[in-house]
Chains A and B, each alone.
Chain A
Amino acid sequence: MTTVASTGGPATTPDRPSPSPTNFVGRSRPGEFAIRLFLRIAAAITVITTVGILIALAIPSIGFFAEVPVFEFLFGTRWAPRFADASFGVVPLITATAWTTFLALIVAVPLGLGAAIFLAEYARPRARSLLKPILEILAGVPTVVYGYFALQFVQSTVFREWLQLPTGAFSVLAAGVVMGVMIVPTIASISEDAMSAVPQAMRQGSAALGANRMQTTLRVVFPAALSGIVAAIVLGISRAVGETMIVAIAAGNQARIVTNPLEQGQTMTGFIANAALGDSRVGSLEYDTLFAVGLLLFLITLLINFISIRIVRRFREIY
């Protein structure tokens, strides 16, 4: 654009002053100005949304923390907001979230990376264009349907009937494993993009030194794409932490510290979903509790997202 403007514009040639200098700015167009303003406002709405989220979560949370000390909230080990002797220690919710996220990653990271390596390094273009959309379907299945599957099939049929595991009607294991399958496409597609971006010359160089495809993949492509792969996993973590319906259906709703994946447990999101079912009055402590947990959830995912963006910037290898 800049080269065109500096070489092509007759108005900028100094030695030939034209009799009527062409006005490239044109007449003023108020309508166009208004349209641009509208577009700008539309873009600004995204920022307003973020600010709105912060305010919406912060104001009720201030009310909450006026009654419950922050320290007691973050480090208390008993979560019983609806009991007569109410107690607001968020640690049980965090342990359940940590378990489901951890279990989801154990499933999603190997499967997602395996799929990504196959699609990026091994599959022919035809196979790739066939396999990738099928994999994407996994990301499109509604989370309530995953929840139904986790509860009715994985937990009650596989774990209890077939494997005879000592577990109740709900378990964080069923929720976590199914959630892991849900985030496989997230991890696979971002890591695949990262591996496809590694220049072909590096693979050829590796092959020329006698490496086979496995060695090339593991020792050349994988390290070169590491920043994208780590970012994919971090994004997977953020999705697992924020996932609601699967855990609300299959993980159970008793808030207690989870020590064993076969136990049931209530995650942060599960608590918000369940508490919202009961009609809590605006301004009551119960209502504020929702937002305090929501704020914690938002801050955790925000932190994870920023880490992901930083990792990509810091460790990106530029070719």
Chain B
Amino acid sequence: MRTIGSTIAGTIRPERPITSGTNGERRPLSLLFLMLLWLSLLIAFGVLVTLIITIIIDGQGQFSWRLFTEYPASSPDRAGARPAILGSAWVIGTTAVMTIPLGVAAALHLEEFADKRNWFNRMIELNVQNLAAVPSIVYGLLALAFLSMLGVRDKNIVIAGALALSLLILPVIIIATREALRAVPQEIRQGSLALGATQWQTTWRQTLPSAVPGIATGAILALSRALGEAAPLLVLGALVFVSFDPNGLLSSYTTLPIQIFNWTGRPQEGFHQLAAAASVLLLGLLVLMNGLAIYIRNRFQKRW
């Protein structure tokens, strides 16, 4: 560009360097446009900061160890979120055990084994995309109907909540796993196959281990979505007064988001402060999980 510019244009206008494209950048209209773009990012970040400051200020009065050790109570000064924290741990743990193997298996089928021209496999692909956009509350209705069909009377049990959340994040895990598998170069598979490994041996010993960091990142992000989710559990009747620690898959439970919903809806100011404090806790947990996911991605992901 420089040589052409100096030979052709340089003879005409020697005092001005050719910088095509940047000539109009300082016009008022383009500056206004750039400012609007900045403004849109600024507003979005501003809301995020305001939200975090709001819940910290609202919740600071109630932020103590009592939140972790005490059970819900009728007075905000004695109430804590211990069963909700344990309930969240139970539900998310069960969800992880149920959904990660299933999601990875489905993704392996779609990515490594499925014949892409087969109508059934194409339908599965389209279906996964669609499921990812189904409103979360519909999964609650699905679990509710399923349990009613089985004749389960008390639907507020850990395994039921985990079922709803598993189906909710299954498409997310499948999509993330497929991306991780796709990032493994074809040469790895071809090399393994050339050495006489079968397709499954190749998948199990070469492709899958290489994709594990990507899968772990995707799975943690999906679980963090499940952790913050309340709507499907609400439909299953998780909004109850639980004054004991959940202790099994058939135990009754409540979760942290549900507890926040409950406290937000109370008329007393003290409960609102508790809701804010619990929100800070929930956000902190999510930041930790996301941080872990980012750490795994940066630390363990192979760059081919």
Contacts and interface: CB of A to CB of B under 8 A. Distances in A.
Nearest to B39: A114
A309 B128 CA distance: 13
Instruction: Report which residue of B51, B130, B229 has the largest number of chain A beta carbons within 10 angstroms of its beta carbon.
Output: B51
Contact of A294 (B102, B129, B141, B276): B141
Interface string A298-309: 100110011001
B228 A60 contact: no
A147 B148 CA distance: 30
B201 to A, nearest CB: 8
Contact of A50 (B130, B239, B265): B130
Size band of the interface chain A makes with B? 35 or more
A235 interface: yes
Interface residues of B, number: 96
B188 interface: no
B109 A249 contact: no
A56 B142 contact: yes
Interface stretch (B8-16, B22-30, B62-70, B71-79): B22-30
B238 to A, nearest CB: 10
Interface in B101-131: 101-103, 105-106, 108-110, 113-114, 121, 123-124, 126-131
B142 A213 contact: no
A141 B105 contact: no
A137 B124 CA distance: 30
A131 B137 contact: no
A301 B139 CA distance: 13
B170 A46 contact: yes
Contacts of B190: 1, 4
Contact of A115 (B24, B44, B128, B141): B44
Interface stretch (B211-219, B242-250, B282-290): B282-290
Contacts, number: 278
Given A211-B24, A214-B29, A273 B283 contact: no
A216 B20 CA distance: 12
A14 interface: no
Contacts of B110: 43
Given A36-B200, A242-B138, A111 B20 contact: no
Contacts of A208: 20-21
Contacts of B21: 207-208, 211-213, 216
Given A43-B114, A145-B260, A298 B134 contact: yes
Interface of B is mostly: helix
A127 B201 CA distance: 43
Interface stretch (A159-167, A257-265, A274-282): A274-282
Interface stretch (A64-72, A73-81, A88-96, A149-157): A149-157
Nearest to A118: B37
B97 interface: no
A118 B142 contact: no
B284 to A, nearest CB: 11
Given A269-B231, A276-B237, A134 B170 contact: no
23 contacts: A29-B198, A39-B106, A45-B170, A46-B106, A49-B167, A53-B138, A56-B141, A56-B144, A144-B230, A144-B282, A145-B228, A145-B279, A151-B264, A152-B58, A153-B50, A181-B44, A208-B21, A212-B30, A214-B29, A290-B235, A294-B137, A298-B138, A306-B130
Interface of A: 1, 4, 26, 29, 32, 35-36, 38-40, 42-47, 49-50, 52-53, 55-57, 59-60, 110-115, 117-118, 122, 131, 133-135, 137-138, 140-149, 151-153, 181, 184, 207-208, 210-216, 218, 235, 238-239, 241-245, 248-249, 269, 272-273, 276-277, 279, 282, 290-291, 294, 297-298, 301-302, 305-306, 309
Interface of B: 20-25, 27, 29-30, 33-34, 36-41, 43-45, 47-48, 50-51, 54-55, 58, 101-103, 105-106, 108-110, 113-114, 121, 123-124, 126-131, 133-142, 144-146, 148, 167, 170-171, 174, 186, 190, 198-200, 224-225, 227-231, 234-237, 239, 257-258, 260-261, 264-265, 272, 275-276, 279, 282-283, 286, 290, 294
Given A46-B128, A238-B135, 12 more contacts: A47-B127, A50-B127, A114-B37, A122-B34, A142-B230, A145-B228, A145-B279, A184-B44, A214-B34, A248-B231, A272-B235, A309-B126
Closest 6 CB pairs of A and B: A242-B135, A114-B40, A142-B228, A212-B24, A56-B145, A207-B21
